[in-house]
C-alpha cells in the first residue's frame, strides 16, 4: 500500500514521531527521571501588596520566591513583559519563529485542541478547575525547597461586566475569596474580563489569527506593565508572550478555536523548544513545550500527554546555578486534574445536580 502522505506533511509527521517518546521509554532510569522532574509555580508577592493591590487569582498559590529579575505585584509575576517602541505603541514578539521541532509539535497540538467540543457558559456560572500544585517552601531569598504537591480548587466568576468578587480558592483546607483589593478609604472598582480575568466569553472573543492574537496580547501586557511603571530594560516581548499564553492555559476553560490559536501563536515565539520527557505534578510523563527565561535563570515547560496531546500541567527548573539552587533544581510543578462549569461557588462537578 502506498503512503498517501508526502511532501511537507510527511516531513512534519516524521519530525513529530522523532520528538515524541516511545512508550517503552516511559520508565526512565532514576538519574534521568530526577533530571527531568518538573514544573513552575510563578511568583507571588507574599507581603504587604496583597492588602492594597488586586490579587490575580490564577497565581494565588505556593510559589517560587525569585530574585529581583522578576517583578511581583498584586500576587503575581509576569517576569518581563511586552516593550513599547519609540512611539509608545506595543511591540509584539519578534518576527522569528520557534525551531521547527517545536513548531511542528505545537501545530499538532493546535489541531487536536481545535477538535474539542465548544460549550456554552452562562453569565452567572463559574469555571471550576482542580489542580495539584507544588511550590517553594524554603526561606525568602534562600535555596528552593519544593513542597509536596497539594490539591487546589478554584471557582472563577464568568460575569461579563466588571466585578469585585471574582471567585474562590480552596487550598490547604481553607477557602480564600478572590476579590479586588483597594486602599482604605477608596471606593472599590470592579475588575473587567481580560488577560488578568480571562472568562470563557472573553477568551472566545480573542483573534484566531496567530499574529493578530500576539498583537492583542502584547497590547494588554504593555498596558499592564505601564500601569506598574516597569522599566523598559526589564521587558522582553518574546518571554512576555510565552508567559502570557502559559497563564491562559492554567486555570481556565478554553474555547477550542482560542486554544488552537494560542498554540499556533506560541509556535511563532523564538526560543520555544521541546522537552522530550516532562513530568507533571501528578507523575504523568509527557512531552514539554518549553522556553528558557535567561534573565531569571529558569526554564518553564507546558506538559502535554505524548499520545493525546492534551495539556497536563507545567513544570520549571533552574538552567544555571544561583542562590535558588543548583542547575536542574525543580522550582515548581502543577497538574490539571479537572475542568468544568458549575452554577455556584463551592459546587463541584461530582455534586452538581
pTM: 0.74
Exposure b/e, 283-317, CB count within 10 A at least 16 = b? ebbbbbbbbbbeebbbbbbbbbebeebebbbbbbb
Quick one: the chain helix, strand, coil %, rounded to 5? Answer: 25, 25, 50
Q: What is the pLDDT of residues 98-109, one digit of tens each?
A: 667 999 999 999
Give the pLDDT of residue 333.
97
Q: Pick the residue with more confidence: 31 or 343?
A: 343
Q: With H, G, I as helix, E, B as strand and everything else as coil, classify residue 316.
A: strand
Residue 82 has pLDDT above 80, yes or no: no
Give the pLDDT of residue 99.
63
Give the pLDDT of residue 235.
83
- For residue 262, the surrounding DSSP H or E stretch is helix 256-266
Q: What is the pLDDT of residues 32-46, one digit of tens each?
A: 222 233 322 333 332
* Residues 235, 239: Cα–Cα separation, whole Å: 8
Q: What is the pLDDT of residues 145-172, one digit of tens each?
A: 999 999 999 999 999 999 999 999 999 9
Residue 94 has pLDDT above 90, yes or no: no
Q: Cell numbers 461530582 label which residue?
A: 350
Residue 351 has pLDDT above 70, yes or no: yes
Output the average pLDDT for the chain.
78
Give the pLDDT of residue 344.
97
For residue 255, how far is the Cα from the chain centroid? 16
Residues 222-227: what's their mean pLDDT?
A: 84
Confidence of residue 18 (pLDDT cuts 50, 70, 90): low
Which is nearest to 246 in space by CA: 42, 92, 22? 42
Q: What is the pLDDT of residues 193-212, one digit of tens each?
A: 999 999 999 999 999 999 99
Q: Cell numbers 511532501 label which residue?
A: 7
Residue 62 has pLDDT above 80, yes or no: no
Residue 71 has pLDDT above 60, yes or no: no
Of the listed ranges 18-32, 34-48, 165-179, the one predicted with least confidence = 34-48
Amino acid at each position: 500500500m502506498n503512503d498517501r502522505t508526502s511532501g511537507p506533511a510527511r516531513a512534519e509527521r516524521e519530525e513529530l514521531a522523532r520528538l515524541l517518546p516511545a512508550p517503552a521509554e516511559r520508565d526512565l532510569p532514576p538519574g534521568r527521571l530526577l533530571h527531568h522532574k518538573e514544573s513552575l509555580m510563578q511568583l507571588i508577592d507574599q507581603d504587604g501588596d496583597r492588602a492594597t493591590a488586586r490579587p490575580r487569582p490564577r497565581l494565588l498559590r505556593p510559589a517560587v520566591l525569585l530574585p529581583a529579575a522578576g517583578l511581583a505585584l498584586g500576587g503575581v509575576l509576569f517576569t518581563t513583559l511586552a516593550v513599547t517602541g519609540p512611539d509608545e505603541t506595543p511591540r509584539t514578539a519578534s518576527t522569528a519563529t520557534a525551531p521547527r521541532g517545536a513548531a511542528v509539535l505545537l501545530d499538532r497540538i493546535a489541531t487536536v485542541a481545535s477538535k474539542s467540543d465548544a460549550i456554552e457558559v452562562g453569565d452567572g456560572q463559574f469555571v471550576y478547575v482542580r489542580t495539584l500544585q507544588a511550590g517553594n517552601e524554603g526561606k525568602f531569598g534562600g535555596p528552593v525547597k519544593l513542597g509536596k504537591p497539594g490539591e487546589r480548587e478554584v471557582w472563577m466568576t464568568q460575569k461579563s461586566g466588571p466585578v469585585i468578587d471574582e471567585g474562590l480558592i480552596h487550598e490547604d483546607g481553607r477557602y480564600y475569596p478572590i476579590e479586588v483589593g483597594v486602599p482604605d478609604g477608596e471606593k472599590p472598582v470592579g475588575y473587567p474580563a481580560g488577560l488578568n480575568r480571562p472568562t470563557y466569553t472573553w477568551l472566545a472573543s480573542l483573534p484566531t489569527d496567530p499574529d493578530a492574537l500576539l498583537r492583542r496580547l502584547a497590547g494588554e501586557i504593555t498596558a499592564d506593565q505601564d500601569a506598574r511603571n516597569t522599566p523598559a530594560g526589564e521587558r522582553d516581548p518574546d518571554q512576555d508572550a510565552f508567559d502570557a499564553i502559559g497563564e491562559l492555559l492554567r486555570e481556565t476553560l478554553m474555547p477550542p478555536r482560542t486554544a488552537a490559536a494560542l498554540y499556533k501563536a506560541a509556535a511563532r515565539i523564538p526560543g520555544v523548544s521541546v522537552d522530550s520527557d516532562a513530568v507533571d505534578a501528578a507523575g504523568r510523563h509527557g512531552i514539554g513545550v518549553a522556553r528558557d527565561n535567561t534573565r531569571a535563570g529558569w526554564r518553564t515547560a507546558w506538559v502535554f500527554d505524548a499520545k493525546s496531546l492534551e495539556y497536563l500541567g507545567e513544570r520549571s527548573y533552574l538552567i544555571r546555578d544561583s542562590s535558588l539552587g543548583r542547575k536542574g533544581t525543580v522550582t515548581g510543578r502543577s497538574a490539571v486534574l479537572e475542568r468544568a462549569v458549575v452554577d455556584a461557588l463551592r459546587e463541584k462537578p461530582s455534586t452538581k445536580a
